[in-house]
Amino acid sequence: MVAFDAKPFQADPPLRFRATEDVYWDASECCLIHADLRSQGTFEEDGDYVGVFMNPYVRVAYDNTTLSWLPTVQRIESIFTIPHNIMNHIVGLPWFNPRRTEVAGSQVEEEVWTPDENLEAGGSFKKQNREAKGDGYCGRRALQVIKETPRNGEKNWESMPIPSG
């Protein structure tokens, strides 16, 4: 759970929660808002922003099943540190993120999905020079879409395959 100083949200123009613009780049608005705060220069020299308050002990869940397990897991989560680290290595986490070290304002060359109706895949990835926004560490190459009417037992989102080329 996070609480923000309201000043950046009342400025002109105001800071807003947003999504990333790239089609095959998923980034969380929960991370992007911090990247945008950082790019506004509202951080002190030591990197701290005095207007963001975070309580790491607040737990949230996306569904009731997960929520029901939280009290149990909270009591023993310190035991999970080593197994969690092992599982991260087994499944390949953290995933490689080619944009994680980009500095806002620098010129970077990135592979960006460019739509083209003449291609079977509907477009292709092309190298493109552009200015880094400084929010690349918030995402990864992926595309998840919301299912407005999931079938019984399905999640309300789906990962779409990334076209090659």
- CB burial string 71-103: b at 16+ within 10 A, e below: eeeeeeeeeeeeeeeeeeeeeeeeeeeebeebe
Map out the domains of the chain as residue ranges: 2-99+136-159
pLDDT for 165: 60
Q: Are 160 and 146 in contact (CB under 8 A)?
A: no
Q: What is the mean pLDDT of each run of 10 residues along the chain (165 residues)?
A: 81 87 87 83 61 75 87 80 90 88 91 91 92 89 90 90 81
Tokens of 116: 């083209």
Q: How many C-beta neighbours within 10 Å does residue 113 have?
A: 20
Please count the other Cβ atoms lying within 10 Å of the Cβ belonging to residue 37: 19
